[in-house]
Amino acid sequence: MGFPAAAPATLPRMSTSLFTEEHEALRAVVRRWVEREGAEGAPAWERTGGWPRDVLRTVASQGWLSTALAASGGGDVLAGVAMWEELGRLRSAGVVQDLLAQAHAAALLSEAGVPAVAQRAHAGELLVTLAGGALRLRPDGDALLLSGTAPALANAAVADTAVAVVPDEQGIALAVVDTRLPGWHATPPASPFGRRGGHAADVEFRDVRLAGGDVVARGAEGLALMRRRQDRWRLDHAAATVAAAWLAWEDAKAYALQREAFGRPIATFQVNRHALADMAAELSALRALVHDTARRLTLAALESGDTAALRLRADRVSAAVADRCLQLHGGYGYTMEFDVQRAWRDAAHLRVDEAGDAALRDEIAAGLESRMGGGSS
């Protein structure tokens, strides 16, 4: 039982000039699909073993995953933002995070020059996980052995293919791994706080035997690919996360307008009114930053720290908003029957997830230092 939103489930238009009509048309299509799947479907996936494979096929068949490609490969940063702003409303960070990983892993495969695998990933035929962690590759005769662990990888529990991200001398090696190979071990989380509808897992590679051709990028090239990909991924992540927080806000507002205490709607109490107004301001600011970052990404004008700051603030503000929205629901916010509990768990989960605020903050601080012409990095 989700509390029905009183307002139409649309994000406000942010400007007349950043998105084209094609972008808005895409947004509308995605929105219709999300309204069908999101309202009823996605929350149920938490209780049914995770999102079903046909979700991936639908998303892929629309070509949506390809927005994550570089412009030269037919991708579109702004289309991606518009799309993730709608997919973020699926009411399930589990599926959203998995789809984000799929889109960006597929794009990475394209850029690393593995068109055949990439195409199947874009088509939704292969489910891909991107495996960053404490990994190493060592030669074994003609072959290579991949070993190490990588925690909390999206899609990993049921992935067909992994792209292993392995530090090498000059940068990063990327290796394509078939998960049917011996030595691949994926363990779903014993106790997931949020992302419950997803297929994340901890992965261990126990001397997985690869051929030299499975390594599709190396060194500085691999590092550059990963860095560019990380910027895009963080942008899309922020677009989706902020959209999820807006949805929680819309729900809370609708609830506060109809729930009465002491004879009047609780939305009319000034403290609640200001809380809703303040959250709207925070989310509007974040969304403006998402769009600004997107624009600068298209112009290749990003600076160090930009996407780290975006992700840090997106995750933290979203978590704070979800928490305040839960409070606005009173006792009902504490039941599993309302959506806000999931928004709260998902947002808290994302905040402490793989990225890690400490690492993000360090990246931002290094950016500040370098702007001021000093610093350690």
By CB under 8 A, name the binding residues for a second copy: 269-271, 274
φ and ψ at 125, to 5 degrees? -85, -30
Interface pick for other proteins out of 253, 318, 325, 339 (rule CB under 8 A): 253
3-class DSSP state of 336:
coil
3-class DSSP state of 11:
coil
Smallest gap, in angstroms, from Cβ of residue 364 to other proteins?
4
291 is in the binding site of which of a second copy, other proteins, none (Cβ under 5 to 8 A by kind)?
other proteins
Smallest gap, in angstroms, from Cβ of residue 368 to a second copy?
18
- With binding defined as CB under 8 A, does residue 272 bind other proteins? yes
Beta-sheet strand order (sheet of 134-140): 134-140, 143-153, 201-210, 184-187
- Window 307-326: contact mask with other proteins (x via CB under 8 A): --xx-xx--xx-----x--x
Nearest to 194 by CA among 244, 265, 136, 231: 244
178 is in the binding site of which of other proteins, a second copy, none (Cβ under 5 to 8 A by kind)?
none
Largest separation between any pair of C-alpha atoms in the chain:
79
**Judged by CB, which is closer to a second copy: 278, or 303?**
278
**Judged by CB, which is closer to other proteins: 107, or 360?**
360
Smallest gap, in angstroms, from Cβ of residue 44 to other proteins?
14
Smallest gap, in angstroms, from Cβ of residue 309 to other proteins?
4
CA 287 to chain centre: 15
Give the end-to-end CA distance of the chain in Å, rounded to a whole number: 51
Site for other proteins, residues 183 to 202, rule: CB under 8 A: 189-195, 200, 202
- In angstroms, the CA 39 to CA 90 distance is 7
Site for other proteins, residues 142 to 181, rule: CB under 8 A: 151-152
224 is in the binding site of which of other proteins, a second copy, none (Cβ under 5 to 8 A by kind)?
none
By the 8 A CB rule, do 216 and 109 touch?
Answer: yes
